[in-house]
Structure 1
Amino acid sequence: MNAHCRLEQANDNAAAFWLSQARAHGWQSRTRPGFTAVRCARTPDDPHRLLVTRPYAEPAVLEQELADVLAAWSTVRFTLEDPYGGLDLTRFGATRMPVMPVMTREPGPVEGGPRTFPFVSGAPDGGLLTVDEARDGDTFAEVEHAIVDGFPLPARQPWTRGGALPEWLLGEPGCRAWLGRLDGTTAGACLTYDDGEATGVYWVATLPPHRGRGVARVVVETALAAAHPDRPATLVATALGEPLYRKLGFTVQGRTCWWTRTSAGG
């Protein structure tokens, strides 16, 4: 499959992941050909999430559609992902953030990765590292806590149970959560989302005291092996995370431009 198709798979998975959160939270959403919007509403000023999923011939047409959504939802803050880099949202008071790579991995086992699940291994410094799937509310709360403090999500700090990721997400088809522990203590986590075509990896997090001990790698390896190894995997990487994902077999399919507005006035 060519890079263009893999990029679209990644875009579609991200849109489906945010729509699953909309269902779990009871948020409004809009889906149009090539564009998905979610009206996040944990608080009145929660940033709304906008995702471009297909190339566009006329940026001005898409920008007007965005303007219509922002007006209809009385949007104050928003984050928009544009994998095609042709939009200019400065007139909306938005700031362009550094681009980030959209990466995909072809189906198949991770070389040297776990072959059993739940995964138990020795950490590089001698600790005992385990990775389990969160199947109940208490374990999912540990995952949420690790993501809020380890990713991190400053707007959700201090962490409160269900404030960022409600337990109802466990009931969303395709949504799974993975928890890494070092010597029995929560150390890291991530979510995966399977949309029937690809498995997206989201919010890979390691808590600060446990960084540099291989937690993120083992959590992601286990999630890839235990979720759907027969499907391609997708993610958006940070600059710090990209080298790890390359080692796990991910390759860059494109680079997405993020725009963010933090207040009504920009």
Structure 2
Amino acid sequence: MTTAPARSAAGMTDLHLATRNAAALWEALGETRGQEVTRRPGLLGVGGGRNGLRVILLSPEPAPADLALVPELVRAGGRVTVEDPFSAHDFTELRLTPRTLPVMIRRPGPAPAPVPAGLEVTRVTTAAQLETAARVVVEGFPLSHFQPYRPGEVFPTGLLTRPGTELFLAVRDGVTAGACVSVVQDEVSGLYWVTTLPEHRSAGVGRALMHALLARRGDRPVTLTSSTAGKPLYDSLGFEVIGDATWWS
């Protein structure tokens, strides 16, 4: 017997909620970066600059007209990522290559232990802190398409006043060691680019970021898309896989 997917009070599955949250992130980035944003019921497209084109499918069965728009967007050229959280479509004919990443959720519950000693996590509130967070993510994640780094390009100052969007820095023994982004959309908080700089890895920086964010957002579901390296940490914090997304690039 197949277990029905968990649904919110609004009737959306966990995977739909995670997808809407990711779309909210990219819409915020697109608008604050001054990029072209394409909004359709079945997809969101954000294009421009060194980020290239980002398309997120919002449903496993978008309307035919929405799905037909994907090739048009892709053929505009440049760097392309088509994110299909539902792994429902094949874009091989667009000469894109797939990779699969788990989408995870942590349901509301007690916060984990406090941030480990020697580490401090603070919310980004100034333009200088925002630039520091951007550099950490570009260099540590890394975001190779944004290298060499250009101030104001990755996280524009407009994000500081964007409702529902927050950034955080982790400091280890007085030195910036990590960063991440959080987005609140509907009833879900999403985490993105949980990053530790190479020289601070294996020192609990990623765990410190997660502990701080879960303490702040633990009263609601928290979603993320995991890398292979990050999944053991998320498993240990009570996240569970709700789907395997396919990213085409």
How far apart are residue 61 of structure 1 and its match? 6.3
Correspondence 1:146-165 to 2 at 5 A? 146-165=136-155
| CA contact 1:190–1:205 (8 Å) conserved in 2 | yes
Say whether the 8 Å CA contact 2:130–2:167 is kept in structure 1. Answer: yes
The aligned residue for residue 234 of structure 2 is: 245
Alignment partners' CA distance in 1, 2:72 and 2:130? 36
Task: Identify the residue that residue 24 of structure 2 maps to in structure 1.
Answer: 16
Deviates more, 1:18-27 or 1:83-92: 83-92
Cα distance in 2 for partners of 1:225, 1:24 equals: 28
Match of 1:64 in 2: 68
Question: What residue in structure 2 maps to residue 209 of structure 1?
Answer: 199
Aligned counterparts, 1:254-265, within 5 A: 254-260=243-249
1:35 equivalent in alignment to 2:37: no
1:234 is aligned to 2:223: yes
Q: Which amino acid aligns with 1:219?
A: L
What is the match of residue 82 of structure 1?
84
Per-residue Cα deviation, 1:61-84 (whole angstroms, up to 9, x for no partner): 65422123335xx23321011122
Q: Does 1:188 align with 2:189?
A: no
Q: How does 1:140-179 map to 2 (within 5 A)?
A: 140-179=130-169
Asked if the contact 1:134–1:140 (Cα under 8 Å) also holds between the matched residues in 2, the reply is yes
Q: Which amino acid aligns with 2:155?
A: L
* Counterpart amino acid of residue 237 in structure 1: S
User: Aligned runs of 1:80-159 on 2, under 5 Å?
Assistant: 80-97=82-99, 99-112=100-113, 114=114, 121-122=116-117, 128-159=118-149
State, as a whole percentage, how many aligned pairs show the same letter.
35
- Secondary structure of residue in 2 paired with 1:142: helix
Q: How many residues end up aligned between the 2 structures?
A: 241
RMSD: 1.9
Whole-angstrom distance in 2 between the partners of 1:61 and 1:26: 26
Task: Show CA shifts across 1:210-236 (max 9, x none).
Answer: 00011001112102222x322211100
CA–CA distance in 1 between the matches of 2:188 and 2:132? 26
Return closer, same or farther for 1:136/1:178 CA change in 2, 3 Å cut-off: same
| Mapped partners of 2:93, 2:184: distance in 1 | 36
User: Does the 8 Å contact 2:137/2:143 carry over to 1?
Assistant: yes
Measured against aligned partners, the alpha-carbon deviations of 1:21-62 in whole angstroms (never above 9, x if no partner) come to 1111122212222311111x224xx4200111212188x765
Letter in 2 for 1:67: P
Where does residue 51 of structure 1 map in the other structure? 56
User: C-alpha displacement at 1:108, in angstroms?
Assistant: 2.6
**What is the distance in 1 between the residues matched to 2:223 and 2:22?**
9
**TM-score calculated relative to the size of structure 1:** 0.84
1:198 matched to which residue of 2? 188
Q: In the aligned structure 1, how far is the partner of 2:142 from the partner of 2:153?
A: 14
Does the 8 Å CA contact 2:21/2:190 hold for their aligned counterparts?
yes
Letter in 2 for 1:19: E
CA contact (8 A) 1:176 1:191 kept: yes
In structure 2, runs of 5+ residues without a counterpart are none
What SS does the aligned partner of 1:204 have? strand
Kept in 1, the 8 Å contact 2:43–2:58? The answer is yes
Unaligned runs of at least 5 residues, structure 1: 123-127, 261-266
